Structure 1
Amino acid sequence: MSTGVSPQHRRSFVRWWTGRSPAAGSAVMATGILSVGLHLMGQENLSLAALALAAVMWSGLAADFTGRLLNDRARWIHEADTPPALTAVAATCVLGTRLALLGWTALATVLLVLAAVVCLVLLPAVLRDSVLRVRHHAMPGAVFLVCVATQGLAVLGATLAPLLHQTWLARAALAAFCLGLVLYGLALGRFDLRNVRRGAGDQWVACGALAISALAGAKLLASAAFTGTFHDALRIAALTLLALAFAWYAVLAVAEVAWPRLRFDVRRWATVFPMGMTGVATLSLATAAGVAGLRTPGKVLVWCAVAVWCAVFAGAVRSAVRPV
């Protein structure tokens, strides 16, 4: 019985799928963080739907990542030392964080271990062969993924620490949090500010890296391992990071209006993720830092991210169908 899909169409789809860049991992990051945000707002059905979609996306990307490693080693090595490769780490951490919130602690722990191993392989290569080799102010927004990947480990580790009753994991998450802040400073020195005006979407990671740092701070605040003066310092640091993320968000939003870039680009998923992450960080700090007034703006930011996700998803579907 015919499936209605010709061999030529199948070959076209395969070429499209295998030709995607590592930046496609940001689609999992964007969808997963919206699942977290919708969960925090009590929109459980929508949250679970987003989680299911993120899990399917992650599985496809994981299979692609493994396939390239085994069957196209030259391409895997070529891509492994570029910042977009770190979306594999960040996407795994975001998915693991949502699963931990769902109570699937064992699976979330497996994803944390997997993300940590991949990060130990990819991060040194990215820093050595891409970030440190490039002159100052010359890289796109993807350079901030060195911070996002590290803070992703901090978020997932700090989320699991109280669930597993492991104080050492909270301290490891704190170390990742501090390292992420150092890497943000390094990335900022390499970022080409002209991308605020002409970037294809990943310029928003400058905001998202600060937002996920603020979320990591919120998760650390919830840990019983940090008390007293240190807890107060963490609270100030997290709120400061959120304020800086808001500042970047405002600048980037104004730039989108002033210089519209409406054509679909896979890097637009790297716009959705920071928007959603800023909302999630805001909602999380409303509770962790005891600032109830942050809940309303947090909800607004998450819904804005949902709207942009729908637009980018529609563009992605058209992009996939066009070559077929």
Structure 2
Amino acid sequence: MATGVVSVGLHLAGFVWAARVLLAVTAALWVVLAVTFCALFGGGVTRWREETSTPSALTTVAGTGVLGDGVAMISHPVAAAVLLGLTAVLWTVLLPRVLRQLSRRVPGAAYLVTVATQAVAVLAATLAVELPAKWLAWPAVTMLALGLLLYVLVLTRFDFGELVGGAGDQWVVGGSLSISALASAKVTLAMDAPAPLVWLTLAVLAVALAWYAVLVGCEVLRPRRGYDGRRWSTVFPLGMTAVSAMTAGTACGVPWLGTLGEVLLWPAVIAWALVAAGAVRHAAASA
């Protein structure tokens, strides 16, 4: 997810070759994770049910959606359409299981219910333009609305202590709104920019940017050093906020949002490089 969204951001900013390299890395990682996911069936039904009832299982949906966006941006809409179908199936199977297991106090990872839902919306709206298949804009609108409702549901259960104590996934509280803003912007483009969708995009993006500022402030007040795998959940919102700002700038006719997105892309790239280096060191130490 994190690598894929940084790839999309680099492509939007005009760094095409860097974007293609990261997209290739994303595809390779997706294959590895797909094999790992399928291997869960080998552990029996009980293990499969346990593993697929946690919010982290929804990374399969979001990751497949992000890969589909990347494939679409390099002009392979048919392959992206296949990934959309897979994303929709995974979402249908996994989301009800995760929702049934949500507790009263949840960490930032619980916002993956919104991220996964909006990932389907983003890819559907993208293909509505790229194929073209205008009818896909309507399922995208439905998923956009459902994703926002799920955000409110999780927000009522979110442990706000995670903002200063979380290990990285607390950033998804903002990142889930960033992908919601991206979904709204994509639908806006697919439907030729109706005013209600333009205002919705700008409103959701404004709240996402506010969360961005709050989360940065919490990191400054209480630095959390050292590698933790959950830091990938920090990179994804950083990259997604940049991508949503650039896309919203185009969809809503607000050029300075595009500039803001390009500025915000670089913290995401730096964070990706730092977390990737930490992951490599951690893997080497474990070996």
TM-score of the superposition, structure 1-length normalised? 0.87
Aligned to 1:169: 136
On the 8 A contact 2:78/2:131 being kept in 1, the answer is: no
Determine helix, strand or coil for the equivalent of 1:190: coil
Question: What's the counterpart of residue 237 of structure 1?
Answer: 200
Alignment correspondent of 1:55: 27
State the 1:285 CA deviation.
Answer: 0.8
Aligned to 1:312: 275
Residue 230 of structure 2 is aligned to residue 267 of structure 1: yes
Alignment of 1:152 with 2:116, yes or no, is no
CA distance in 2, matches of 1:185, 1:155: 19
Q: Distance in 2 between matches of 1:72 and 1:100?
A: 36
Confirm or deny that 1:257 pairs with 2:224: no
Question: What does residue 185 of structure 1 align with?
Answer: 152
Whether the 8 Å CA contact 2:72–2:127 is kept in 1: the answer is: yes
User: Of the candidates 108, 113, 119, which is equivalent to residue 80 of structure 2?
Assistant: 108
* 1:204 and 1:252 in contact (8 A); partners too: yes
Give 3-state SS (helix, strand or coil) of 1:191's partner: coil
Q: How many residues align?
A: 287
Query: In the alignment, what sits opposite 1:143?
Result: 110
Task: Describe how 1:194-209 pairs up with structure 2 within 5 A.
Answer: 194-209=161-176
Which of 104, 114, 121 lines up with 2:93 in the alignment?
A: 121
**For 1:285, which of 244, 248, 270 is the aligned residue?**
248
RMSD: 1.1
Distance 1:316 1:195 in 2: 22
Shift of 1:164: 2.4
List per-residue Cα deviations over 1:188-225 (Å, max 9, x = no partner).
Answer: 0111000000001000000000000000011011114x
> What 5-or-longer segments of structure 2 have no aligned partner?
none
CA distance in 2, matches of 1:116, 1:149: 10
* Aligned amino acid, residue 122 of structure 1: L
- C-alpha deviation, 1:74, in angstroms: 3.0
How far does the alpha carbon of each residue in 1:91-122 deviate from its partner, in whole angstroms, 9 at most, with x for none?
A: 00000011111111111111110011011110
The amino acid of 1:102's aligned partner reads I
Equivalent pairs: percent with the same residue? 49
Alpha-carbon contact 1:143-1:190 (below 8 Å) kept: no
Matched AA of 2:121: A
Q: CA deviation at 1:75?
A: 2.6
Larger Rg computed on CA atoms: 1
Tell me how far 1:314 sits from its aligned partner: 0.9
The residue correspondences of 1:45-84 to structure 2 (distance < 5 A) are 45-84=17-56
